[in-house]
Structure 1
């Protein structure tokens, strides 16, 4: 019993390192919450920043599956992740992206939202994405793409990941004007700001020792 609880992290004697079981629950929980945030945004035709935002833009423009686009667009960034961040981070991120992509596609089978105001969807979607990403970051993973770059820049140069992500998000929002209405972009910006402020305030590698 002691061995089992230790493996699960209940009696983890090293607070600076997560056990495999702790990492697994963190990846699953983070992916579930992030997928729910993306689902809220999709229900009212909103988008977000980062690679998910680009996947949304292409999804609204082409009608192709968001989950598939999100998974495929992230593939090139794993090269950077392997070279700059490490195998462990890359594998965890690959699993998180794959799981999140799958969950977004099947979410409607378990949850049907008949009506929600765009501004509320933007705020809730942004917060849920923030909580999901925070869980993934704290287990040395991300939702790939620009998140990989953001975490690398934070670790290498000390610029917070949320601020790095926000800069890229503004570029994604500019592209969105080509495929959605200005009001949709405005609501989406609200969600992106909520997401990135949440990460900027809550994600600091010097505060959370398990990231070292």
Structure 2
């Protein structure tokens, strides 16, 4: 129950951070960034696009991270989508200065994603790739997250303008730095998941001696 509460908190924080970036017209990376760009172009709500774009990554998650992690990720993606759509309906239209939105949104998303990672969940997409590489190759998930996010932001760099592009890069750098700060706790969480799966797969046999 405690883990589910933390997952809910992580989704809420990430949703708030994404909303701040959206209203300050700053891009973010990963599948969230792709979803924001597609939302801008198609006028389809971000939550709907974000949910659909993550579906192909679930197969990769099952193969490398197991069903426990995958189901938690599906729950997180669904919850984030619902929260984001709900916030769009409830909150009035507003705008935030780009510089303030980039820093504030990046910080909040960083803590939100770190909370999810430390509780064996993610928001799918590139989050899954970052955690797989940490698990298999001991890579820093914050660094991997920044590289993949940078690629996504670069795709929209020329369409959003130079200054807005720089602020978008600043935002993902802040998010990745916070994830890197918690990398050891995230690694321990993944190791505990792996240990539990080995225990369940190879149960200890006990022998009862009759005197």
TM-score, normalising length: structure 2: 0.85
State the match for 2:42 in structure 1.
Answer: 62
Contact 1:57 1:179 in 2 (8 A): no
**1:115 Cα deviation (Å)?**
4.2
Given candidates 70, 74, 80, the residue that maps to 1:94 is 74
Change (3 A) 1:209 1:42: closer
Other-structure match for 1:191? 171
The 5 A counterparts of 1:55-134 are 55-112=35-92, 114-134=94-114
- 1:140 and 2:120 matched: yes
Larger Rg: 2
Distance 1:23 1:126 in 2: 24
Which whole-Å CA distance do the structure 2 matches of 1:77 and 1:23 have between them?
23
The alpha-carbon deviation at position 106 of structure 1 amounts to 1.4
Which stretches of structure 1, 4 residues or more, deviate above 3 A after TM superposition? 108-115, 205-211
2:209 matched to which residue of 1? none
Could you tell me which runs of 5 or more consecutive residues in structure 1 were left unpaired when the two chains were aligned: 1-20
Higher helix proportion (structure 1 or 2): 2
CA offset digits 1:30-74 (Å, max 9, x no partner): 111110000000112211111101111111222222111111110
The answer to whether the aligner puts 1:155 opposite 2:135 as a matched pair is yes
1:30 aligns with 2:23: no
Change in 2 beyond 3 A, CA 1:54/1:207:
closer
Q: Equivalent residue of 1:162, what SS?
A: helix
CA contact (8 A) 2:29 2:152 kept: yes
Structure 2 residue runs of 5 or longer lacking an equivalent are: 193-211
Q: Please give the root-mean-square deviation of Cα atoms over the aligned residues, in Å.
A: 1.8
Could you list the per-position Cα deviations for residues 156-212 of structure 1 after superposition, in whole angstroms to 9, with x for gaps in the alignment? 100011111111111101111354223222211111110001111122247756862
* TM-score, structure 1 as length reference: 0.84
The number of residue pairs the alignment matches comes to: 192
